[in-house]
Amino acid sequence: MRLKTIALSAVLALGTLATPAFAQNATTEFDRAAEIEAALAAGDVKKGKSVFAKCKACHKVGDKAKNGVGPQLNDFFGVEIGSSEGFKYSKTLLAKKEEGVIWDIANLDAFLTKPKDFIEKTKMTFAGLKKEKDRANVIAYLASLQSVEE
């Protein structure tokens, strides 16, 4: 009887330890290649390229892309937020980075719906993409530009 109780509390303790880390996706187990594949499957890269016209004034992608008003977006997908070297991110974005938040599909979708709701006081002065399709397509387009190490 005593043993059972101990076993049960061990399971409960493990559960509480595992949940917060998983919820913030601060895990080394994160499968970047799989997330990129999932983004490509969920959206249309070509259509996403057109949606990206709305982002171009501030974000550069592709060869030799540099930080501008916003950070370059070549290698941000599936890595910790706020990782473009030399870009001066807002304090609130950096606070979220400290929590270990990763740019996965779910977080990107939330951010692009209404940037200020996802990161309070973000420097990204963009109203957001209301249409779910537009978000899925632009996320697929951005995923298509990421380099993946095998």
> Exposed, middle or buried by CB within 10 Å (0-12, 13-18, 19+), for 65?
middle
Q: Which positions from 76 to 115 touch ligand HEC by CB under 6 A, shown as an x/- string?
A: x----xxxx----xx--x---------x--------x---
CB-hemisphere CA count at 13 Å for 119?
Answer: 27
The binder of ligand HEC chosen from 26, 42, 100, 126 (CB under 6 A): 126
- Point out which span in 11-19, 20-28, 36-44, 123-131 binds ligand HEC (CB under 6 A): 123-131
**Shortest CA distance to 122 belongs to which of 93, 100, 94?**
93
Integer CA distances (angstroms), 143 to 105, 120, 138, in order = 10, 25, 8
Tell me how far, at minimum, the Cβ of 106 lies from ligand HEC, in Å.
13
18-77 residues near ligand HEC, rule: CB under 6 A: 54-55, 57-59, 69-71, 73, 76
